[in-house]
Amino acid sequence: MKITEHPRRMNIGARVLPHGGTHFRVWAPRRRTVEVVIESGRSGQRFDLAPEDKGYFSGVIESAGAGALYRLRLDRGERLYPDPASRFQPEGPHGPSEIVDPNRFKWTDHDWRGVNLRGQVIYEMHIGTFTREGSWAAAARELDELARLGITVLEVMPVADFPGNFGWGYDGVNLFAPTRLYGSPDDFRRFVDRAHALRMGVILDVVYNHLGPDGNYLREFAEDYFTSRYKTDWGEAINYDGKNAGPVRDYFIANAGYWIDEFHLDGLRLDATQNIYDLSGDHILAAITRRVREAARGRAIVIIAENEPQETILIRPQEQGGYGLDALWNDDFHHSAMVAMTGRNEAYYTDYLGKPQEFISAIKYGYLYQGQWYRWQEMRRGTPSLKVPPSAFVMFIQNHDQIANSGRGERCHQLTSPGLYRAMTALTLLAPGTPMLFQGQEFAASNPFLYFADQNSELAELVRKGRAEFLAQFPSLATPEIQSQLDDPCDPRTFERSKLDLSERERHSAIYEMHRDLLRLRREDAVFSAQRAGGVDGAVLGDEAFVLRFFGEGGDDRLLLINFGVDLNLTPAPEPLLAPPELSEWAILWSSEDPRYGGSGTAALDTETGWRIPGHAAVAMTPKPLPEEKILAAKQRREAEWRGERKRRND
């Protein structure tokens, strides 16, 4: 029976029909027959799907409805398989699929219009470790506090179902099925609905460069899902441009639209796009971007890419030959920040010194490497981004990868001094890029964030070995003493240790208050919130000190002074960016050395004898009108100088 697809629903998987029954559609070109086996209700019932063109099979089962469990039987074989487009796997990737009716959920976000990139503050979170319970429901209860903190967009790490009882999610195998580990699909929807009620967007991290090795049954349906023409860092590459690539592309494009449509998500974060290979005339990333925006039906959507080679074609408009995404993660900024905070520039930090010039350039131009030679890779790295708007660069000093790559899962505040951490945080949150925090960063969480993956015994040994070998690129982590202390990724205790203790918000209230104050300043101060292209300039003041000047309307500028070294005394201070606007003087607007944050106080910076910039500190300054007496004194001084000069000429 031919079914006309609803334009807002995907045309694969199990779709509950409005007047009863369920329509099934599967792509299985390597099979002669496909049957649906219903495993609940009248267990064991089998229904043949009718063959279509291009290897699809479809049909309607009148007796099947939402909640029913089913599997697929291929070529009358004994083994049964989950649906490649299953919307839920209640028993995990090896179990039956469940029919889900997304229309049953009652949304309350009817006035929600989505999110644009400008003005956002992103918060990366892993649902399994964000709370002790590790569920959508528990995470939803914490959203009010994140909104009060100043977060505007939640970036959820991957949730496509994967085997085992814990994991990061980057080895997902059921791309349409939110993992059963965090709750039901409707629990996910409630989380999003609650976020929207608090005026926060939700974007999802998705993995379209590979699939996990365990529970991946796609090859049973079609060999053409994968290709050997390209290599990825984790597994077989997806076939986006080879033989029979059309249905493969449709599968991933449908998945991208599915999350926006059926879960009301506000965008996607695309993992490791450098391992998404496509030499066709219409790159898969461009096609995914179009589908995502179409699925939003007028809502504003944000699409962010992780891209190690720093290819700005991803964010160039499609009408200009690009792929049309909105933003890119800026690893260059992170790497410079880590070197400045820790003093280590080993492994992939080799080409960074953490010096003022690097930060000024990153703030003004985004990427530091835009085509220059890169020693670590022994090749040129990056593409031009001089004219890319600041908001298109997501800036961070912590994310899931980089914390785990510290070896022990230590966070930035544990690897540097309190003053440096506060100063770097201020730079990140006040810079014109789009800032991102990683869960717990806002209160200097004491727990680590480690790499964890619950795998079967055969894969577990490979994971342990691979993790140790990866970390060994850092000479400091390659020693036998450190290697022997690495946490076992497959040990449940590694997962448990990575869970946040949210009571630390109160116990670490000083740093928590600092983050809240900085985000309020960023939000409420018109100059810091502008994110204008060309709106910031900077100058090196010392070996580890620099100034950024944010240009406002009518001379209402801001200074951000950063000193990662010892106290710096500038006498003289021949730097024009330090000069106050006419008839004004600089006043301290905010300081990382505020005693409320654990600092030691901040004396006046701009004095009659020069500038004194405190060490391990960040200070924001704003102009204030000169007092009348200072204006009068300046006027009298100029008149006296004029009279003295006139007298000298007459003599």
Give the residue numbers annotated as catalytic, written as ranges: 271, 306
Cα separation, 374 vs 179, whole angstroms: 39
Spatial contact of 419 and 401, defined as CB atoms under 8 Å apart: no
Cα separation, 612 vs 625, whole angstroms: 21
Instruction: Identify any residues that bridge with 15 across adjacent strands, giving them in sequence order.
Output: 23
Spatial contact of 157 and 126, defined as CB atoms under 8 Å apart: yes
Tokens of 531: 């994110």
Contacts 24+ apart (CB under 8 A), 250-254: 250/12, 251/12, 251/27, 251/84, 251/85, 251/225, 252/175, 252/208, 252/284, 252/288, 253/284, 253/287, 253/288, 253/291, 254/10, 254/11, 254/12, 254/85, 254/291
Cα separation, 558 vs 310, whole angstroms: 30
Chain-centroid distance of CA 393 in Å reads: 11
Q: Is 403 left (phi over 0), alpha (psi -120 to 50) or beta?
A: alpha
Cα separation, 233 vs 277, whole angstroms: 13
Cα separation, 459 vs 145, whole angstroms: 39
Cα separation, 33 vs 50, whole angstroms: 8
3-state helix, strand, coil in the chain (%, to 5): 35, 20, 45
Spatial contact of 172 and 162, defined as CB atoms under 8 Å apart: yes
Cα separation, 33 vs 288, whole angstroms: 31
Torsion angles phi and psi, residue 159, rounded to 5: -125, 0
Strands 174-178 and 558-563: unpaired
SS3 576: helix
Spatial contact of 195 and 268, defined as CB atoms under 8 Å apart: no
Spatial contact of 275 and 240, defined as CB atoms under 8 Å apart: no
Q: Which of 424, 241, 206 is nearest to 333 (CA)?
A: 424
Torsion angles phi and psi, residue 416, rounded to 5: -145, -175
Cα separation, 435 vs 648, whole angstroms: 58
Tell me 167's DSSP state.
B
SS3 284: helix
Question: Cβ atoms within 10 A of the Cβ of 651, count?
Answer: 5
Cα separation, 26 vs 5, whole angstroms: 14
